[in-house]
C-alpha cells in the first residue's frame, strides 16, 4: 500500500548550462530542485534523466523502475528521438503516470498522447500569476488554499489546443489580462496525465513551496493503479452459443 512512488524527473537540461540567469536559479538543473522537493515531501524514490544521456536516460530498465515520469522540455523538443517517445507512450498507456510541465506542452510525448497541437498564447513579462484552485477536494490540491500566487511568471493564454480535460484543477489569472487552464487531468489507456503550467526557467518557480506541494501531490495521484500490456485478443469461441449462419443479403441491390 504505502510503498514509495518511484519518480523519474526528466529534464531537457540545456538552459541551465548556457544561460547565466537560469544557472543562478538552477545550478544543478531544475531536476535537482524538483527531486529534492519530492524527497523532502517523503514517500518517493527519485531519479533524474536528461536529454543528453544515452537514450535520453530513459532506457527500458529505467522505465521498468518508474511509476511516474515528469517531463520538462523547451528548446530541443525536436531532438527527442521518436523511438524514445514511442517507448514512453507505450508505458503511459500501460499505466505509468506522466506529469508534463510548463513548456513541455509542446513535447512530442504530450502531443502524441493528446492528439492535438497543444498550442497557446505566450508572453515573457515577469508578470504576476494567480492559479485558482477549482477542485479543493482533489488529491492534487491537498494542502493548497484558494489560490497560489507567483510574483513572476511567463504568461500562457487561451486558447490552449487540448482535448477537454477530464478534470480542470487550476485556472490562472495573469496580470497582463489573460487566463489559462493551468492544471489539467486526463486518463489515456491505463495511465494518468497531469499538465501543470508554471515553471519558466528564468523565474524560480520550482523553488516555490506550494508549487512543490502540487508536484508531490500530482506524483502521488499519477502513480499506477495497474500495469497492463496492450492486446487485441482474438476470441473465436463465443461465451454464448451462436447457431450456424447464412449471410442475409436482403439489402444488397444489384
Assign 216 to helix, strand or coil: helix
Per the omega criterion (within 30 degrees of 0), is the bond before 150 cis?
no
Complex with its own copies: residue 54 or 249, whichever CB lies closer: 249
174 binds its own copies (CB under 8 A): yes
Beta carbon nearer to its own copies, 20 or 61: 20
Which one, of 204, 219, 248, lies nearest residue 26 by Cα? Answer: 204
Selected from 57, 133, 196, 217, the binder of its own copies by CB under 8 A is 133
Distance CA 73, CA 13 (A): 8
Q: Is 155 in the site for its own copies (CB under 8 A)?
A: yes
Task: Tell me: does residue 203 bind its own copies (CB under 8 A).
Answer: yes
Is residue 178 within the footprint of its own copies (CB under 8 A)? yes
> Is 252 an interacting residue with respect to its own copies (CB under 8 A)?
yes
Which among 45-53, 55-63, 64-72, 156-164 is the span making contact with its own copies, rule CB under 8 A? 156-164
> Between residues 39 and 157, which has the closer beta carbon with respect to its own copies?
157
CA distance 7 to 140: 16
By CB under 8 A, name the one of 32, 34, 85, 113 that touches its own copies: 113
Q: Which of residues 64-93 bind its own copies (CB under 8 A)?
A: 93
**Rg of the chain on CA atoms, in Å:** 21
* Candidates 12-20, 46-54, 69-77, 115-123; binding stretch for its own copies (CB under 8 A): 115-123
Distance from C-alpha of 159 to C-alpha of 150, rounded to nearest angstrom: 21
Among 57, 95, 97, 199, binds its own copies (CB under 8 A): 95
- Of the residues 171, 214, 215, 222, which one makes contact with its own copies according to CB under 8 A: 171
Measure the CA–CA gap between 121 and 137, rounded to whole angstroms: 30
* Contact indicator for 148, 168 with CB cutoff of 8 Å: no
* CA proximity to 92, closest of 194, 163, 220, 191: 191
User: Do 194 and 140 meet the contact criterion of CB atoms below 8 Å apart?
Assistant: yes
Q: How far is the CB of 31 from its own copies (least distance, A)?
A: 16
| Closest to its own copies by CB, 11 or 133 | 133
Cβ at position 57, least distance to its own copies in Å: 23
The C-alpha cell at 167 is 478534470
Amino acid at each position: 500500500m504505502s510503498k514509495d512512488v518511484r519518480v523519474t524527473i526528466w529534464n531537457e537540461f540545456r538552459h541551465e548550462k548556457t544561460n547565466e540567469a537560469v544557472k543562478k536559479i538552477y545550478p544543478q538543473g531544475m531536476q535537482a530542485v524538483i527531486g529534492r522537493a519530492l524527497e523532502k515531501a517523503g514517500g518517493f524514490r527519485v531519479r533524474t534523466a536528461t536529454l543528453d544521456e544515452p537514450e535520453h536516460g530513459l532506457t527500458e530498465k529505467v522505465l521498468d523502475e518508474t511509476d511516474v515520469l515528469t517531463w520538462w522540455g523547451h528548446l530541443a523538443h525536436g531532438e527527442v528521438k521518436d523511438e524514445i517517445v514511442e517507448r514512453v507512450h507505450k508505458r503511459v498507456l500501460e499505466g505509468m503516470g506522466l506529469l508534463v510541465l510548463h513548456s513541455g506542452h509542446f513535447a512530442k510525448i504530450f502531443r502524441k498522447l493528446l492528439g492535438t497541437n497543444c498550442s497557446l498564447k505566450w508572453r515573457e513579462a515577469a508578470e504576476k500569476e494567480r492559479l485558482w484552485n477549482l477542485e479543493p477536494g482533489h488529491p492534487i490540491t491537498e494542502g493548497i488554499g484558494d489560490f497560489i500566487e507567483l510574483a513572476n511568471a511567463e504568461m500562457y493564454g487561451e486558447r490552449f489546443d487540448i482535448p477537454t480535460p477530464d478534470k480542470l484543477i487550476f485556472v490562472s489569472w495573469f496580470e497582463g489580462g489573460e487566463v489559462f487552464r493551468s492544471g489539467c487531468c486526463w486518463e489515456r489507456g491505463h495511465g494518468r496525465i497531469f499538465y501543470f503550467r508554471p515553471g519558466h526557467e528564468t523565474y524560480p518557480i520550482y523553488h516555490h513551496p506550494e508549487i512543490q506541494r502540487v508536484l508531490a501531490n500530482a506524483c502521488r495521484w499519477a502513480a499506477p493503479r495497474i500495469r497492463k500490456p496492450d492486446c487485441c485478443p482474438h476470441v473465436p469461441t463465443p461465451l454464448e452459443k451462436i447457431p450456424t449462419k447464412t449471410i442475409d443479403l436482403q439489402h444488397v441491390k444489384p
